[in-house]
Structure 1
Amino acid sequence: MTDHTTATALPDSSVVGVIGAGTMGAGIAQVAAAAGHPVVLFDAAPGAAAKGKEGVAGQLGKRVEKGRMSEADRDALLDRITVVDALEGLSDAALVVEAIVERLEVKQEVFGTLEDLCGESVILASNTSSLSLTAIGAGLKRPERLVGMHFFNPAPVMQLVEVISGVATDPAVAATVHATAAAWGKSPVHARSTPGFIVNRVARPFYAEALRVLEEQGADVATIDAVMRECGGFRMGPFQLMDLIGHDVNYAVTSSVFAAYYNDKRFLPSLVQKDLVDAGWLGRKTGRGFYDYAEGAETPEPATAAPCPMPEGPVVADANAPLLDRLRANGVAVEVEEAEDFSITVDGVVLLPSDGGTATEVAEAEGLTDVVVYDLALDFMQATRIAVAVADQAAPGTLEKAVGLLQAAGLAVSVIDDVPGLIVTRTVAMLANEAADAVFQGVAGAADVDTAMTKGVNYPRGPLGWAEDLGLERIHATLTNLYETYHEDRYRPSALLRRKVLGGTRFHA
């Protein structure tokens, strides 16, 4: 990763130009004006810039009504936004951010015009989420002055700004934009211009693994979403989020990243999602996606095991079993022994945390029969639900004993098919793996990757920090077991992750 120069933010007296007055452009104008900058807002469509400013006024009016902003502050902010009807109105800008259509030739033309209109010291920034900064700058006279400034929607609310450097971008320019975004109250991260940048690349497994489990009939949509929320700690389940984003958009991003990485199987799009796109079931905006949003439509409930009795036999647990404290906190008597396998045993049933394999494979490898595996939780003390799977070899009653024990620990139990890695375990391992590869390939540093995923898509933990807390060895083993089951390159462990495991080092100091 390029070593970025330390810089100071643009002074708030500097004029900020914004091109494009849609939801994103108007939001960026609001952010800059809120930081004290005079802002010049332009849109090529007649009346669009004025409408964009009116939208900002409407949003600020809601804040005033709720007592979160004074009328004087609202009026002062709006006074700092000037609407212009020609690009020439941006000639005095120190920074110009474009938020226009995602077409390379259009962006190149706009920036080429700005080079002639503005001073040589102007910083030109693109809010592109998918195009190469290097390609955008290829035809410019001063490509070193071009940088990516990728906001997330809605810009006034979302904290993340990806500061993207193309091949020609001057590190000092990127550093100035980074410092300016921080001065605007954002959480900026540096990234190199590669397909998907940080967030749209690293986030692919969040959707892909859920779709894979659904394709394999491991669990239904509502159950997968519930497990990811109530066990994994994510704010939304993957199917809820895809419905919110829109399947046309989410599928297009996945397809774009897949093509840009020369059809790397890690980014393979899903036929299940393609069917929704082909059907026009695009999610909330069309009233139907994985869920039905029609008035009166019932929201499906996750699969939840019926109450089972607590097993009568003693509960014996390894001292490092993830569920040990949860069992004790709920009054379950547990005998502790140093088994070194994270196991919990009750009435001959062995419960083990998922390691990426299936319960059936674990039972075969250990010479056991009555095996149940359970999923990873963000926090086993706070989780309200857990997913489990039972080995095919297990005797009748095995599952009921495991369910009874977990229910005694205060957990709702979702029994799913014996798919490799269950749900949360495989997703977190794949997120960490993709994050590790982004660091390995110099896209961004480890700290910036984790910041991007927590601030840009509200993950409960940064993937790399989460992986380190779980143990990089465990993540590597999970990926290796997934690979051994599927024999697909999609699950290959990152070379950097393997090196960290072998060297006993971490991503974060």
Structure 2
Amino acid sequence: MSALSKDAKVAVIGAGAMGAGIAQVAALAGHPVKLHDNRPGAAAQAIDGIDRQLGRLVEKGKLDAAARGAIAARLQPVESIEALADSALVIEAIVENLEIKRSLLQQLETLCGENCILASNTSSLSITSLAAGLKRPQRVAGMHFFNPAPLMALVEVVSGLATDPAVAASLYATSVAWGKKPVHTRSTPGFIVNRVARPFYAESLRLLQEGAADCATLDALMRDAGGFRMGAFELTDLIGHDVNYAVTCSVFAAYYGDFRFQPSLIQKELVDAGRLGRKSGHGFYDYAEGAERPQPASLSSAASIAPCVLEGDLGVAQPLVQRLKDAGIEITQRAGSGLLRVGDAVLALSDGRLASQRAREDGLRNLVLIDLALGYSKASRLGISASADTSPEALDQVVALLAKAGITTSRLSDTPGLAVLRTVAMLANEGADAVLHGVGSAGDIDLAMRAGVNYPQGPLAWAEQIGIGNLLRVLDNLNAAYGEDRYRPSLLLRRLHAERRTFHD
């Protein structure tokens, strides 16, 4: 089924930030758009706001005045829902309440023609439940935009149990025509993004709870090593803890208490205290005028650097070796199991075991583990941990070595998987389960996480870069360390490893 023609009338119900944004996107794409809200005057006020935004684009030279006028002319506020009867597509963006949305859809079914597509912008409610009770539930689907809709590229096209595949295909094609990056997904709790993203917040919250490092340090590692735009504490402060915590609780409940989605007591305490983040002036960070932002903990060393010996290769961290060589570090190569020796220290990429456990099991003294990085040739900071017997002198050697290559080090307590590695492993694990359960394809899941929440790389592509076997080993070691169902590896990872395949084979 092809995209809606540009002369097809689009209606948006709900004139809040999301509804207004969707109306702007549809009008910009050339459709006549009717905007309705049950608050008198709200639709007209929202359209005035859209026009002001378009005016700012004209001032910046990103839109000409004639185009602004044409877009504004296509936007029409309507006070009566009956005025939407001739629409080809109606997108509701009202309060996130199942019964209220379902009642609205039932009303629209009696008003609109039988070929009109009824779409919900819900971020968490079941499309199957929303369509239940309608005479033609096959024409109901999800069209989940991300805020702000004019800027964010992703649209999750959500199919309920009764959704006609042709309807989903039309919404997908229409989203493409509107300049978006759509993905297909089934109506399961959290769809793709709100499900797969849970570990990004959960692992940092657990590390904070365990005292592995402070907020500023963990956020810096996610940015400077992981390549994420924001760390979990910065991001939840921006989203609002009431919103983020509620989504986590909703997904946790919808999956019958699966501990993979367990909410954090630390975040609950913030919500209970009214510390909701930026909008309340305080969350994990203080946003009061004049408040100083805490700085990440960083190590420094004036130790002289001994020549290094590389035993085998460092796997995904191998580009670090070339970076050290480019910095003038002498490195001798010999066979081995993936260790870099500098002075008395032994440096290795974490495999999910505690440093002290790995030192004992592998017979290594002065072991220092490094965290995962998106790109070791560019990362400006790395997380490290050390075994209990690592001497201060050996640790200084590692800090000085990495500093020579322009890398700042932040030390975490001896914790399994450090920060970036365990987070990426859990994101990939959740993505793998989503593929296994038919929620979306591997390609769509990676696209959704890049376009919907600005991840630097899709988690499944990242898993392939790390190596499916290596990722599985990290998860098995996390599972063994904690003894919790939370860290159980996805069956799909085990299957792919056994069959020597990747997600895209």
Moved more, 263-272 or 54-63: 54-63
In structure 1, what is the equivalent of residue 52 of structure 2?
58
Whether 2:303 is the aligned partner of 1:309: answer yes
Which of 198, 222, 228 pairs up with 1:228? 222
Whether 2:174 is the aligned partner of 1:180: answer yes
SS of 2:341's partner is: strand
SS of 2:333's partner is: strand
In structure 2, what is the equivalent of residue 469 of structure 1?
465
In structure 2, what is the equivalent of residue 135 of structure 1?
129
Whether 2:439 is the aligned partner of 1:443: answer yes
The residue type equivalent to 1:191 in the other structure is T
In structure 2, what is the equivalent of residue 87 of structure 1?
81
Which of 420, 424, 445 pairs up with 1:424? 420
Q: Which runs of 5+ in 2 are unaligned?
A: none
What is the CA deviation profile of residues 349-401 of structure 1, one whole-angstrom value per residue up to 9, with x for unaligned ones? 11000111111111011012210000000000110000101101223422111
In structure 2, what is the equivalent of residue 200 of structure 1?
194
CA contact (8 A) 2:300 2:400 kept: no
Which of 154, 159, 184 pairs up with 1:160? 154
What is the CA deviation profile of residues 236-292 of structure 1, one whole-angstrom value per residue up to 9, with x for unaligned ones? 111000000000000000000000000000000001111100110000000000000
Residues 338/119 of structure 1: CA separation in 2 closer, same or farther (3 Å cut) = same
In structure 2, what is the equivalent of residue 105 of structure 1?
99
Q: CA deviation at 1:320?
A: 4.2
CA contact (8 A) 1:317 1:324 kept: no
In structure 1, what is the equivalent of residue 292 of structure 2?
298
Q: CA deviation at 1:435?
A: 0.2
In structure 2, what is the equivalent of residue 22 of structure 1?
16
In structure 2, what is the equivalent of residue 249 of structure 1?
243
CA contact (8 A) 1:160 1:456 kept: yes
In structure 2, what is the equivalent of residue 334 of structure 1?
331
CA distance in 1, matches of 2:123, 2:359: 46
Which of 4, 10, 13 pairs up with 2:7? 13
Which of 461, 470, 492 pairs up with 2:488? 492
Q: CA deviation at 1:318?
A: 2.8
The residue type equivalent to 2:322 in the other structure is D
Q: CA deviation at 1:404?
A: 1.2
CA distance in 1, matches of 2:13, 2:350: 50
In structure 2, what is the equivalent of residue 507 of structure 1?
503
In structure 2, what is the equivalent of residue 374 of structure 1?
370
CA contact (8 A) 1:152 1:160 kept: yes
SS of 2:497's partner is: helix
- TM-score, structure 1 as length reference: 0.97
The residue type equivalent to 1:397 in the other structure is E
CA distance in 2, matches of 1:422, 1:310: 27
CA distance in 2, matches of 1:470, 1:303: 27
Whether 2:187 is the aligned partner of 1:190: answer no
CA contact (8 A) 2:373 2:382 kept: yes
In structure 2, what is the equivalent of residue 454 of structure 1?
450
Q: CA deviation at 1:506?
A: 0.9
- TM-score, structure 2 as length reference: 0.98
CA distance in 1, matches of 2:394, 2:314: 23
CA contact (8 A) 1:369 1:395 kept: no
CA distance in 1, matches of 2:207, 2:177: 43
SS of 1:397's partner is: helix
CA contact (8 A) 1:104 1:136 kept: yes
Whether 2:229 is the aligned partner of 1:239: answer no
SS of 1:115's partner is: helix
Whether 2:346 is the aligned partner of 1:353: answer no
Q: CA deviation at 1:317?
A: 4.5
Aligned residues: 502
What is the CA deviation profile of residues 430-463 of structure 1, one whole-angstrom value per residue up to 9, with x for unaligned ones? 0000000000001111100000000000000000
CA contact (8 A) 1:15 1:38 kept: yes
What is the CA deviation profile of residues 22-73 of structure 1, one whole-angstrom value per residue up to 9, with x for unaligned ones? 1000100000001100101111110010011011111111111111111110
What is the CA deviation profile of residues 2-21 of structure 1, one whole-angstrom value per residue up to 9, with x for unaligned ones? xxxxx310111100010001
CA distance in 1, matches of 2:308, 2:443: 45
Residues 320/414 of structure 1: CA separation in 2 closer, same or farther (3 Å cut) = closer
CA contact (8 A) 1:388 1:422 kept: yes
Matches within 5 A, 1:247-326: 247-320=241-314, 322=317, 323-326=320-323
CA contact (8 A) 1:40 1:90 kept: yes
What is the CA deviation profile of residues 398-430 of structure 1, one whole-angstrom value per residue up to 9, with x for unaligned ones? 211111111112101111111110000000000
CA distance in 1, matches of 2:483, 2:243: 30
CA contact (8 A) 1:149 1:161 kept: yes
The residue type equivalent to 1:360 in the other structure is S
SS of 1:60's partner is: helix
Q: CA deviation at 1:345?
A: 0.5
CA distance in 2, matches of 1:316, 1:188: 45
Q: CA deviation at 1:108?
A: 1.1
The residue type equivalent to 1:172 in the other structure is A
Runs of 4+ in 1 over 4 A off after TM superposition: none
CA distance in 2, matches of 1:407, 1:255: 42
CA RMSD of aligned residues (A): 1.0
CA distance in 2, matches of 1:213, 1:490: 14
The residue type equivalent to 2:154 in the other structure is L
Q: CA deviation at 1:307?
A: 2.9
CA distance in 1, matches of 2:468, 2:310: 27
CA distance in 2, matches of 1:468, 1:335: 29
CA distance in 2, matches of 1:447, 1:312: 45
Q: Which runs of 5+ in 1 are unaligned?
A: 1-6
The residue type equivalent to 1:194 in the other structure is T
CA contact (8 A) 2:308 2:340 kept: no
In structure 2, what is the equivalent of residue 147 of structure 1?
141
CA distance in 2, matches of 1:329, 1:60: 49
Q: CA deviation at 1:347?
A: 1.5
In structure 2, what is the equivalent of residue 3 of structure 1?
none
